[in-house]
Structure 1
């Protein structure tokens, strides 16, 4: 009996350690600390963006080698929502993920359409900063099982951005509690990123 209790205890400890490793150690910032693009222009934001940089409380620099550039296309709908299609290389094939971002509160802030079907408690998208024709920095936060995961994406209209924009992105990320270890700059790939959404 004592041996079986010991094994159960060790198994439970292993489960708790696995959960601790998957839960983020850095809490999501209060939304009041996350900038929002002033005078957001929905039509100008629409179109295809390359994912040039990523940072988040579930990323570490150990993921850098696996991180590959992908594209996300925002198609503005009549109700001012976006049909959002991300196209990325997974294995040897191009995968597409389609979702809907519905306006929420202020211009430039959205939530995920059909939220509950994704098993999420909450989902927030905020366009933090953009000049529409070169770059955008977008904040994403999702709540799953009472845990908040967040990421900031650095978009480019092209596959390359000026080093000063990457540095500004890194500084912005740090102002929200992340470190340089949480920043990834995906490797350029030819596959999938030039496919039409």
Structure 2
């Protein structure tokens, strides 16, 4: 009896592990950085300030499981060396409440509008982290591409930023088209639910 229960437990554990691996094993391949557009004549000073995350698309995003997510904001502060201090402000989950702050540094890379993660050694499982501003008009919207290699898997996402919490259907549609041009499907694209909690702090 005890042996049968142990065997059943091992089988269930194996099923759970394979399901967890399936969710990341079937990742849509990340595009090469060279194939992702870059905002021409990027102006770092005009890009700084607060952006609201209106949309998110990525090879680890699953609309079916996540549905909508609560909007958060990201503030880019330009430093003298042309890097950005980047602070994202998120609403903690309903249970914890309060606000969460995530701070990192984006260091300029080979081209204006392209960055890498500063102090990457502080994240031992992150082997590479690239950021590319693909398009922006600076005062209304921006689309930013992120690609990271984490534990030997390549993840990528595109963030649709807005200077306000609402963007036009045309801009959202443009974002969807861009995400799909990189191989993503409808299930990999989600839009946020605006909130007044935390993200205007």
TM-score computed with the length of structure 2 as normaliser: 0.90
- Given the alignment, which residue of 113, 122, 132 partners 1:126? 132
Structure 1 residue ranges without an equivalent (≥5): none
Structure 2 CA distance for aligned equivalents of residues 16 and 64 of structure 1: 20
Q: Is the 8 A contact 1:123 1:140 kept in 2?
A: yes
1:77 equivalent to 2:113? Answer no
- Given the alignment, which residue of 44, 47, 70 partners 1:42? 44
Structure 2 CA distance for aligned equivalents of residues 65 and 183 of structure 1: 10
Structure 2 residue ranges without an equivalent (≥5): none
1:99 equivalent to 2:101? Answer no
Aligned to 1:163: 169
What are the equivalent positions in structure 2 for 1:147-162 lying under 5 Å apart?
A: 147-162=153-168
Structure 2 CA distance for aligned equivalents of residues 63 and 72 of structure 1: 24
Aligned to 1:111: 116
Structure 1 CA distance for aligned equivalents of residues 52 and 65 of structure 2: 19
1:187 equivalent to 2:189? Answer no
3-state SS, counterpart of residue 192 of structure 2? coil
1:107-149 per-residue CA deviation (whole Å, 9 max, x = no partner) reads 1000100112112000000000000011000000110111100
1:55-102 per-residue CA deviation (whole Å, 9 max, x = no partner) reads 000111124445110100000000000000000101211100000000
Structure 2 CA distance for aligned equivalents of residues 4 and 191 of structure 1: 48
Deviation at 1:32, TM superposition (A): 1.8
Structure 2 CA distance for aligned equivalents of residues 66 and 35 of structure 1: 27
Aligned to 1:29: 31
Structure 1 CA distance for aligned equivalents of residues 26 and 149 of structure 2: 12
The total of aligned residue pairs comes to 195
Of residues 27-36 and 61-70 in structure 1, the stretch that sits farther from structure 2 once superposed is 61-70
RMSD: 2.0
TM-score computed with the length of structure 1 as normaliser: 0.91
3-state SS, counterpart of residue 159 of structure 1? coil
